[in-house]
Structure 1
Amino acid sequence: MENTHGFDALEQEWSVSREDIDGFRRDGHLLLKQLASEEDIGGIREACRREIARLDDGLRLQVMNVWEKDAAVKAFVFARKFSRIAADLLGVDGVRLYFDQVFFKKPGAGAMPLHQANQFMLELDPDSVLSMWMPLTDIPGEKGPLSYVAGSHLHEKLRGAKNPLLAAMRLGLSEKPCGPMQAGDASFHTGWTLHGAYGNDTEITREMLIITWFAEDARITDPADSAGRNPQLQSLFRGLEPGGKAQGRRLPLLFYRPYRDVVKLVHQAEEDAE
């Protein structure tokens, strides 16, 4: 996609280090500092604010799929830099966009309890889903905006737990804050990683852009019997059926690894297995 919105740096591929990939696979989350520049963030901040301003007033405001409403946000969300990282972290050949979401939390807004995003996503096979949270403004404070339970994505016992924190503690896991974030930092986590968002006890609105991807070859396995997930089948996945491939106009392919890189990854996997 031709970039006419000044995000040239975001169209350059950015390889994640082996150390970061290993840490992500172990912990289920990863913080990458200054993945986008202040100039990049400035190119979409006002567009995101305009979309939020259209909503009724509230402490927590969110708008999904802003890429369909604003060309600059589309160029940012579709950036090859982000989607290449998503594919690397998931260990897949390519990724499709699930959705983007602009999420504002005003002063006084409460916390979001620990949860696993995949519980609210359509069931896919493979269930390789990844989200990136990127602040549009600096978020100070020791805790920062998010908390994670490292390693929680590896335990199937936690899936659907009524008290996820207690269940995690019984497995020897604990909740920890991600720490302060600056505009342009990026926090990634899998769809099965327990995470939460702290309440906003500052006088500054927290402004976030969230991008969620899934493996490009995924098929829909959802039985379409969930009142919470079924609306996604009727909107983002409209016209698609359980058992079919999860692809369509609203699920664009954002990255597909060149053949030479596939060969390189196969060789690396073979070496790691020896």
Structure 2
Amino acid sequence: MTLIESFTHRQIEDFNRDGFLIVEEGLVSERALELLRGRYEGLFDGRYETGIKPDEVNWVPGRDPEDRTRQICNGWRADSVIAAQVLNARTGRLGAQLGGYRGTRILQDNVLWKPPGTKAIGFHQDSSYADYLVPAEMLTCWISLHDTTAGAGPLEFVRGSHQWPRTPPERSQFHAPEDWLAPARNAAPEGAEFEVVPVVVKAGGGSFHHGLTWHGSSPNTSASVARMALVTHMLPVEVRFHEHNVDLIYSRYKRFGDLSLDESFFPVLWDESGYRTPWLAGLPDID
């Protein structure tokens, strides 16, 4: 598999028009796919290679219903293989190219596991959760570790919805809603087209999307596809904390009297100057 190193002018135009870009394959190597798939069971069983718990563990076996999508946020803090993928320079460079950024740093990752029979994830805008940052924006890379089908609950986008207004998040409608499209329908401007596009790709493919693009996923109705995906939420490199607004979880990394983002927790993935957070050089080479 040839890995994608840059996007064409046409792909950038498609991203700007639609609010997302689907990449059929070539975002992750075959070796990396095998290594990443092997980390999920341990992570969700609470076995953390680094000894550090992720920032959010939204599904625990025996605690949460089996029909919920499994999600961990910032699995990179717990596992070096997850870190090697979500913090790689190629992802950061591709994100910067689409976003028009001079550089990118990570906000958080999502480790997602959606076995057959699991319910939906409600539609939402990522940037609506980011009012504790300035600017309150992000760009997301979503990578599938398996071939996806429309019936296995893949990521879905509403085409062109990044042009719609920012809407406050409906947190109660995020995990396992009966009508996962309702938040996006309710937010659609009068007369707006409402075209839902599934991300159907090969293993190692995926998508990039704008922080205001409405997206979510339908239930996994397949009989055998236990879909795994890995997400990197990227920020423009110059982002700072908001002076007053705070986040329940991620504002814990704000230093007193300092609005800058500490590279221990929000490392720089890629910068046009050639800079990259130095400690990332110590991550394993999984390609």
TM-score bracket for this pair, using the shorter chain length: 0.7 to 0.9
Deviation, 1:103, is: 0.8
For 1:151, the aligned partner's letter is: G
For 1:160, the aligned partner's letter is: P
SS at match of 2:228: strand
Q: Deviations over 1:62-117 (max 9, x none)?
A: 12222222222222222221110011111011000111121111221111222111
SS at match of 2:127: helix
Provide the residue aligned with 2:263 in structure 1: 248
Mapping for residues 225-244 of structure 1, pairs under 5 Å: 229-234=247-252, 237-239=253-255, 244=259
Q: Does the aligned pair in 2 maintain the 1:143–1:180 contact within 8 Å?
A: no
Are the structure 2 counterparts of residues 21 and 143 from structure 1 closer, same or farther at C-alpha, using a change threshold of 3 Å?
farther
Q: Give the Cα–Cα distance (whole angstroms) in 1 for the partners of residues 151 and 115 of structure 2.
A: 18
Q: Does the aligned pair in 2 maintain the 1:116–1:159 contact within 8 Å?
A: yes
TM-score (norm 2): 0.76
TM-score (norm 1): 0.79
**Equivalent pairs: percent with the same residue?**
26
Are the structure 2 counterparts of residues 222 and 115 from structure 1 closer, same or farther at C-alpha, using a change threshold of 3 Å?
farther
SS at match of 2:39: helix
For 1:56, the aligned partner's letter is: P
Provide the residue aligned with 1:213 in structure 2: 234
Provide the residue aligned with 2:6 in structure 1: 15
Q: Give the Cα–Cα distance (whole angstroms) in 2 for the partners of residues 64 and 189 of structure 1.
A: 18
Provide the residue aligned with 1:96 in structure 2: 105
2:215 is the counterpart of 1:195: yes
Are the structure 2 counterparts of residues 144 and 20 from structure 1 closer, same or farther at C-alpha, using a change threshold of 3 Å?
farther
Mapping for residues 10-159 of structure 1, pairs under 5 Å: 14-34=5-25, 35-54=27-46, 55-57=60-62, 58=66, 59-141=68-150, 145-156=154-165, 158-159=166-167
Gaps of 5+ in 1: 1-8, 260-274
Q: Deviations over 1:162-199 (max 9, x none)?
A: 74314326241213122422210121112111111111
Q: Does the aligned pair in 1 maintain the 2:152–2:227 contact within 8 Å?
A: no
For 2:16, the aligned partner's letter is: R
Aligned residues, how many? 242
SS at match of 1:127: coil
Gaps of 5+ in 2: 47-59, 171-182, 275-287
SS at match of 1:148: strand
Are the structure 2 counterparts of residues 87 and 179 from structure 1 closer, same or farther at C-alpha, using a change threshold of 3 Å?
closer
Q: Does the aligned pair in 1 maintain the 2:96–2:104 contact within 8 Å?
A: yes
Alignment RMSD (CA, Å) = 2.4
Deviation, 1:224, is: 3.0
Q: Deviations over 1:43-74 (max 9, x none)?
A: 22101332123332433211222222222222
Tell me which stretches of 4 or more aligned residues in structure 1 moved more than 4 Å. none
Are the structure 2 counterparts of residues 65 and 167 from structure 1 closer, same or farther at C-alpha, using a change threshold of 3 Å?
closer
Instruction: Please identify which structure carries the higher helix content.
Output: 1
Deviation, 1:23, is: 1.3
